[in-house]
């Protein structure tokens, strides 16, 4: 083999390895951050789903929504993050993507804790609880549909979108799920306020009866 040719081959090989290494150095932190975000959200959902599974097994049907939507969210999050490699780095790093999944996690978590308080309250009738759960179900479905809309960005049909178009679409979804989160929080606060008011009225009535009994 010609010594010059051998040296040239080694030089080209070294250049190729250097470029690959540089690419790995640039890409690794991005994937690490994405992995951290995904792991954090997935772990939260797993905890919610596990707790809901136990309650559902013991007959708490209201927690079926937590179980269903937490498991669905985990699957959709995996689909999104697995598909990120086919999308540009600008979209991969866009913070509003994390906001969207984080808001969905908060929505499910808020419902999960609130429905337990409402279920155990002696001031909420079965009919009222059923009505509240129905409304919550619709809210959870809407937020889940927003997450589903996000999947279109990493679908083969949407790979021709520009980064600007993708990020504009993500902005719209972030604003949408923010509104959905605020609506669920308002509905929850209203329900909890109703419980507190009913409890205060019952305590006042009890105090009045005790007072009248001493007369």
pLDDT tens by residue, 161-192: 888 888 899 999 999 999 999 999 999 999 99
pLDDT of residue 38: 60
The more confidently predicted of residues 27 and 205 is 205
Distance CA 138, CA 183 (A): 12
Is residue 36 predicted with pLDDT exceeding 70?
A: no
Residue 91 pLDDT class (50, 70, 90 cuts): confident
Is residue 144 predicted with pLDDT exceeding 50?
A: yes
pLDDT of residue 85: 64
Is residue 194 predicted with pLDDT exceeding 50?
A: yes
Residue 125 pLDDT class (50, 70, 90 cuts): very high
pLDDT of residue 161: 81
pLDDT averaged over every residue in the chain: 77
The mean pLDDT of 130-144, rounded to a whole number, is: 95
The more confidently predicted of residues 53 and 9 is 53
The radius of gyration computed from the CA coordinates of the chain, to the nearest angstrom, equals 26
pLDDT of residue 156: 66
């Amino acid at each position: 083999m010609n010594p010059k040719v051998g040296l040239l081959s080694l030089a080209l090989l070294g250049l190729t390895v250097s470029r690959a290494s540089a690419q790995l150095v640039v890409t690794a932190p991005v994937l690490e951050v994405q992995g951290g975000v995904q792991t954090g959200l997935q772990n939260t959902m797993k905890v919610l789903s596990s707790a809901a599974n136990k309650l559902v097994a013991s007959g708490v049907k209201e927690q079926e929504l937590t179980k269903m939507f937490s498991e669905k969210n985990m699957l959709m999050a995996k689909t999104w993050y697995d598909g990120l490699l086919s999308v540009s780095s600008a979209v991969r790093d866009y913070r509003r993507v994390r906001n969207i999944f984080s808001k969905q996690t908060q929505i499910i978590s808020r419902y999960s804790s609130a429905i337990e308080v409402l279920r155990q309250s002696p001031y909420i009738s079965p009919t009222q609880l059923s009505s509240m759960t129905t409304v919550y179900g619709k809210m959870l479905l809407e937020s889940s549909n927003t997450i589903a809309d996000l999947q279109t960005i990493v679908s083969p049909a949407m790979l021709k979108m520009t980064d600007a178009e993708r990020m504009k679409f993500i902005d719209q979804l972030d604003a949408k799920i923010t509104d959905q989160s605020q609506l669920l929080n308002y509905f929850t606060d209203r329900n909890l306020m109703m419980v507190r008011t009913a409890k205060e009225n019952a305590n006042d009535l009890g105090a009045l009866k005790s007072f009248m009994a001493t007369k």
